[in-house]
Amino acid sequence: MNRFEVLHTDRSSAARRGLIKTLHGKVETPAFMPVGTAGVVKGITPQQLKETGADIILANTYHLLLRPGVETVEKLGGLHKFMVWNNAILTDSGGYQIFSLRALTRIDNDGVEFASHVDGAKAYLNAEIATQIQNRLGADIIMCLDQCTPFPCDDSQLEKAVERTISWAKRAKQTHANTNQLLFAIVQGGVNLSLRRRCVTELVKLDFDGYAIGGLGVGEDKSNMIKTVNTTSELLPADKPRYLMGAGTPADIIAAVKAGVDMFDCVMPTRNGRNAFAFTDSGPIRLRNSVHCNDAGPIEAGCNCYCCSNFSRGSIRHFFNIGEMLGPILVSLHNLSFYQRLMVKIRQVIEKNEFGDWATKQSKKYKIFNSLENTQINSANSL
């Protein structure tokens, strides 16, 4: 049964407006998923998160395996009850950690052994174990284990990673035992378009519930990233959700929506919020700067989030300067609201067949955030 419906496709691009139906509610697409890696979006209560407009969030298999452990989550009522989140949840398989923790891993065709970044203890994941863990956690959408490679990466290593990703996807499909969950496969291949095509061809034969584009945002330049997204997205089935993993700047999201991508996740809103960096429609704001000392205005005029409705830039700057945890919480809330407002606007302009022209204008405006990726927001896809 296909639980994804395309409601409208923009006339001037491949952008589409859709709906994913899960056991814990509907997900309006294009959708942005806040990241709750270890079972919590840092500093944000579930009620606050809901108020930003989120209807799906992300957690991570590897991190939950280490702490608190699958058995503990089960004893506490499953992942939804554990996170106190009654809407949709997606769990990543741990494949990204093969890249981000590669100095602590040993990988072969069966799977990967991690030396825990917490205490050095050994942890093992393969296609079957990662799928079984996610079946037990009970997320609405789960991911096949894949091998994410760094950039640059020579073609022989890329080819080996693609073959492993295909093989592991087959094994995950055979292992998957919870029919309430959607199982997504992940397309790998770096910026090698030939390998991307091969990976898509083999994964589509297996008929997954959705497909993710992985292995980007790991050091490649923007033109290569966009070219890879465009090529990969157009090869994926039109009747299944398409998910670009870890893409975080507003311009990245707009470019990928234009290519027909439906789902996104990134830690940028919260990680940068914790560092006094605010996203606004007119550009970035660094709230530690002295120019905000006596500013009685909100972070962003017209924003109705809890932060902007109640607190001034001057008070928020003070909270950061004295190490008060309310500062990071407030800016994280604003940033999460900014991202959800962006997704609402994207859905609206798609429905009006105005996405193409709107995207061109907004992408130019939001390029200012791209220039910051090597400084403030360079770790968007890390732990």
- Please list the active-site residues: 92, 265
Q: Cite the DSSP H helix spans in the chain.
A: 46-51, 61-66, 70-75, 79-83, 95-100, 127-137, 155-175, 193-205, 222-235, 250-258, 268-273, 306-310, 313-321, 326-351, 355-370
Half-sphere exposure of 264 (CA within 13 A, CB side): 30
Cis before 250 (ω within 30): no
CA 59 – CA 292 distance, rounded (Å): 35
Give dist(CA 65, CA 133) in Å, integer.
8
Measured CA to CA, the distance from residue 148 to residue 157 in angstroms comes to 11
Q: Which residues pair with 187 in a beta bridge?
A: 213
Residue type present at position 259: A
C-alpha 264/C-alpha 242 separation (Å) is: 9
Query: d(Cα 123, Cα 133) in Å, to the nearest integer?
Result: 13
Structural contact between residues 8 and 351, judged by C-beta atoms closer than 8 angstroms: yes
Q: Return the amino acid letter for 3.
A: R
Which of 163, 234, 174 lies closest to 202 in space, CA to CA? 163
- By the 10 Å C-beta count (0-12 exposed, 13-18 middle, 19+ buried), 121 is classed as exposed
